[in-house]
Structure 1
Amino acid sequence: MKNIYTILLLLSILSCTEKKINTIIEPLVNNKVTTKKRNEVFIKVNDTIDSFFTNLTLDEMQAMPDMLYLGKKENKSSITIPTDTTVYIIGGDPFISMFYKLEIEKGDSILINVENTRINSSKQVKYPVFTHLNSDKSWSETNFDYLLFKQNLNSEAIVIDEDKFQNNKFSIKQIHKNSNLLLDSLKAINSISDEFYRSTKLDQQLKYATSKVREARKQHLKLDIDSLDIKINSEELFERNEYVSFLKALVLYKYFQNDKRVSNTVQFDVVTKETKLFNQSTKEMLLSAYLKSIYFLEKSKFQNYLAKFHTINTSNKFKNKWHIIVQNQQENAKKLDINNRTIGILSNLVNDNQLTFEEILLKEKGKIVLVDFWASWCVPCRKEMPFLEDLKATFNETEFEIIEISIDKEYSAWVRASKLENLSTEENNYIIADWKKSKLYNNYNIKTIPRYLLFDKFGKIIDDNAPRPSDNELASLIKANL
């Protein structure tokens, strides 16, 4: 009886949501032409969405996800991202156990709608619903996280308190049960593929097992690991993030029962000596995963632990992987190395020109010049970018120019952000070396960003703290000086 109820509920959700989505995407789908997939992904929000934020991961070895803002308030409804790899959209709210992750292959086009989802009698959240415009993935596969979240709320596997998130209740057993019921129901109505069914069922089992291990450690309970029905040494599962999380949880449960926080270096050292739980292949895979975390969270110890890893590792796959990562890291660091570049020198992506600010300004003599100081991690800076594009479109390129100067310390972060903001092909998109020691920093007393400088046609300063591009006053100021 419960299975019949689940299928009826599911059909109700699917028919309602898909009808709404189809109304939005029909013109796009009908005009779709099958071509060779380009080295880019296209992301667009429904034009009724006021504001939507999510995280983007473009590179496995980026410390933090990139920020993506779309919608009317952001003055930007779509983005094309140059890439030859997979891009991930990741978001949610851990306080209400709401998570979503979408894998976007190169050449994919994604449309985002937002569903107002009620989580209790007085609150609702905006949950993103995705549609692949040129993929074989079904709507149900793309939005499995959304469907499961709805089912968890309906069955009270997740109960959100009206006032305090500390009082929220989550039943990991019921959530796991719901995931299996949902998968079985979707399979019964041919809404998902056999491969998606098998793969997602396995991931949900791994998530459930990981939750059981973490719960046992937190409550100091005895746990029969064999009862979790997960193979400890299974090379077939090595590529699954959920499997790595499961093994890491086992390490904490087995060796750190009484420790609240344990650094990755400490866990790394324990696993190197472990002889009972893991075989050599599993140990190498797990140590590589710890090494990645050390790279981000304990950077000063990374080289030491990389050397340790190489004395233990016998896998060419991991050896080559870390050789490439370290090589890329060294190349990126070299590009901003103060020993190789003069303090305050600016370089761009187009031709790697190395210029002083004075040389750049002189090159644009005869134009009004707006200088934008920004960084990949600066939210207000990134939200102003669409308004800068509007300024470019408003004024003739022979009389107005924008110079972008990033103060990023990580070259690769600047490159990724430049791609996301359509700046990677702009000649006047620069990154500055040793920012805080530069004349620019000191001459204009630039303590915070975003910061805008406006220069006249002769290179003289008009305003050393100009209004933001989203402020109409800036456009008026530019017009007054043309």
Structure 2
Amino acid sequence: MKNNNNQIVFIFKKQNPEKFSDDNVSVLGSTIYYSEENDFSSIELSPNNKMKSDTIVKKVVSNKICLSHTYNKTQKFLYEFQKGDTIVFDYENGYPYASVINRKTLKFDTNFLNDIKIEKPLEDFQFIVKNKRIRNENESKTYFKDLNVYRVTISKSLDSLLKINQISQSIYELHKASNTFFEMNANKTLIKSASIEDLRRDDLLYLKTYRYFLENYAVEKFKLKTQFSNNPMTCNSKVAFDSIVKSSVFSKRVKESLLYAHLVNIAENNSNADLNVYFQKFQGIVNDSVLNEKIKNNYLLDFTTLKNEVKKVYFTDLNKNKSTLESLILKNKGKVVFVDFWASWCAPCRAAMPSSRKLKENYKGKEVVFVYISIDTDFEKWKNASGKEKLSENDNNFLGINYPHALFYKGLQLKTIPRYLIYDKNGKLVHQNAPTPESKEIKEELNKYLEE
């Protein structure tokens, strides 16, 4: 594909599903995000490359981007690309291997972490996956020692490669920073050693590791309590937001990055009223119309009134057309309705989607309607996940606007997903906890109500 200087072309070769040993890992394990230079907004790439290669074209404004590719859930890869690039990701070896095909690159520019072949100590999550438990105190001490050795080794390797012109200056600096701030994030005692310059690196905001460092620093700086020590965003984001506003240690752009992170956290974990209050504060500080519009779009702030409705269940489709559960059931009266509750972040839900699609295909031409309702809080994440699951606006695919406030949800005690419902031909809810799509029982249930 021909590229131009205002975009980046990503070509994702077919993955190897046999490399996965866990279905849930294969569903959610491959996440790809990038941020543009001097920006902190993450854009997700959702290639459909399980069966064949897929190409995604993205318009970019800045001269370069930083891309993070998490593969098979625990493998993490970091890349820097330039505006105008065409990149091919190959998965033949069981991990993503990138090639820039429109220009020459130095030997270690594109796949430094793969090519350098220095074994990295298992991160906490990786350790849990492998050993089915958390580290004990002695293992944690050993981990920090090994991590320091790894960081020093990586740093020396980068210095040597730069000296012999085997890696570009910009990519050298990216991996240097990632290396430094990764160790700080892993060993929180090191955060106290951060300098004032570390808090004003606008040039590193496109690096997720640096943004995570800033979040950890804020927790330490403002003495915020967290629910989980390894996740700074489990703190009270309202307190964090207000503390960051008053602080003068951060650069303007870094402060905006932190405020945005905590505003998103408020949107996903607090009330609609809290979100409205803090979004107003955010708009008064951050004069970025594109970013503010993105927040309004992602968190459906135009539907604020409907979010608080309790008597009816409101939905939106991918085109922001709103509807109600009542109207949906009425529209399909005379048919059996199978409802699938899911979310982009729910691994079991996503793992069950192929079976749900197959079940739908089995009843094609029959009086059965399949409805998919997401309880996501983020419209864009739902939209991206819908694309991956091949759910379009024509598939009765909806996002619940007023979940979990509607009385209907409370009556169902809908707290865990996936969850399946069945309505009979008269529009009566006859099964509040229907069998799963892959079970033998679901066909028996659907057939029973079809014959009535």
Q: Give me the TM-score of the superposition, normalised by structure 1.
A: 0.60
Judging changes above 3 Å, is the alpha-carbon distance between structure 1 residues 419 and 58 closer, same or farther for their aligned structure 2 residues?
farther
Q: Which amino acid aligns with 1:54?
A: G
User: How far off is 1:297 after superposition?
Assistant: 4.0
Given that residues 343 and 382 in structure 2 are in contact (C-alpha distance below 8 angstroms), is that contact kept between their aligned partners in structure 1? yes
- Partners in 2 of 1:457 and 1:253 — Cα distance? 58
Deviations 1:256-302 (CA, angstroms, capped at 9, x unpaired): 8xx9989775697478554xxx6xxx620221122123213456777
Q: Give the one of 335, 346, 359 matched to 1:391.
A: 359
The answer to whether the Cα contact below 8 Å between 1:405 and 1:431 also exists between their aligned partners in 2 is yes
Q: Deviations over 1:12-65 (max 9, x none)?
A: xxxxxxxxxxxxxxxxxxxxx768999997574214234434153669799999
Give aligned-pair identity as a percent.
Answer: 20
2: distance between equivalents of 1:378 and 1:215? Answer: 26
Output the CA distance in 1 between the equivalents of 2:389 and 2:29.
15
Task: Quote the residue 1:347 is aligned against.
Answer: 316
In structure 2, C-alpha distance between the alignment counterparts of 1:445 and 1:473, rounded to whole Å: 23
Q: Distance in 1 between matches of 2:254 and 2:311?
A: 42
1:2-401 map, 5 Å: 44-49=14-19, 50-51=21-22, 52=26, 53-54=28-29, 56=31, 84=58, 88-90=68-70, 99-101=76-78, 110-112=89-91, 129-132=95-98, 143-148=111-116, 150-152=118-120, 165-166=135-136, 167=139, 168-169=142-143, 170-172=145-147, 174-180=149-155, 182-183=157-158, 197-210=168-181, 218=189, 236-237=203-204, 239-241=206-208, 269=243, 274=248, 283-297=251-265, 319-320=288-289, 322-328=291-297, 331-332=300-301, 334=303, 337-338=306-307, 343-350=312-319, 352-357=321-326, 359-365=327-333, 367-397=335-365, 399-401=367-369
Paired amino acid for 1:90 = T
Q: Offset at 1:202?
A: 0.6
Shift of 1:381: 1.7
Determine the C-alpha separation between the residues in 1 that align with 2:209 and 2:14: 29
SS for the counterpart of 1:165 is: coil
**How far did residue 350 of structure 1 move?**
4.7
The one-letter amino acid paired with 2:355 is F
Partner residue in 2 for 1:404 = 372
Q: Is the 8 A contact 2:48 2:388 kept in 1?
A: no
- 1:224 and 1:430 mapped to 2: Cα distance? 45
For residues 360-388 of structure 1, the C-alpha deviation after alignment (integer angstroms, 9 at most, x for no partner) is 23434565432212233333222111111
User: 1:73-108 deviations in whole A, cap 9, x for unaligned?
Assistant: xxx7579798857985336888xxx64346899997
Q: State the distance in 2 between where 1:177 and 1:426 align.
A: 54
Q: Which amino acid aligns with 1:165?
A: R
Q: What secondary structure is seen at the aligned counterpart in 2 of 1:45?
A: coil
Give the CA deviation at 1:458: 5.9
Which structure's CA Rg is the greater one? Answer: 1
- Structure 2 residue aligned with 1:418: 386
Gaps of 5+ in 1: 1-32, 116-128, 154-158
Counterpart residue number, 1:449: 417
Of the two structures, which has the highest relative contact order with CA contacts closer than 8 Å and spacing of 6 or more?
2
The 3 A distance-change label for structure 1 pair 369 and 133 is farther
Query: SS at 1:474's partner residue?
Result: helix
Give the secondary structure class of the aligned counterpart of 2:154: helix
CA distance change for structure 1 residues 204 and 63 in 2, over 3 Å: closer, same or farther? Answer: closer
Confirm or deny: 8 A CA contact 2:68 2:77 kept in the other structure.
no
1:466 to 422, 434, 438: 434
59-68 or 327-336: which moved more? 59-68
In 2, Cα distance between equivalents of 1:62 and 1:220: 21
Matched position secondary structure for 1:431: strand
Partner Cα distance (1:473, 1:292) in 2: 46
- On the 8 A contact 1:455/1:463 being kept in 2, the answer is yes
* Contact preservation (8 Å) 1:348, 1:427: no
Q: Distance in 1 between matches of 2:191 and 2:158?
A: 33
**What is the number of equivalent residue pairs in this alignment?**
407
The AA in structure 2 aligned to 1:218 is: T
Aligned partners of 1:270, 1:448: CA distance in 2, in Å? 34
Structure 1 partner of 2:62: none
Q: Distance in 1 between matches of 2:389 and 2:289?
A: 32
Q: Distance in 1 between matches of 2:364 and 2:279?
A: 53
**Does structure 2 conserve the Cα–Cα contact (< 8 Å) formed by 1:210 and 1:249?**
no
Where does structure 2 lack aligned partners over 5 or more consecutive residues?
60-64, 122-126
Contact map agreement 1:58 1:416 (CA 8 A) in 2: no
The worse-fitting range, judged by mean Cα deviation, of 54-63 and 466-475 is 54-63
CA gap 1:133/1:410 in 2 versus in 1, 3 angstroms: same
Of the candidates 388, 398, 401, which is equivalent to residue 430 of structure 1?
A: 398
Contact 2:244 2:255 in 1 (8 A): no
Equivalent position SS for 2:96: strand
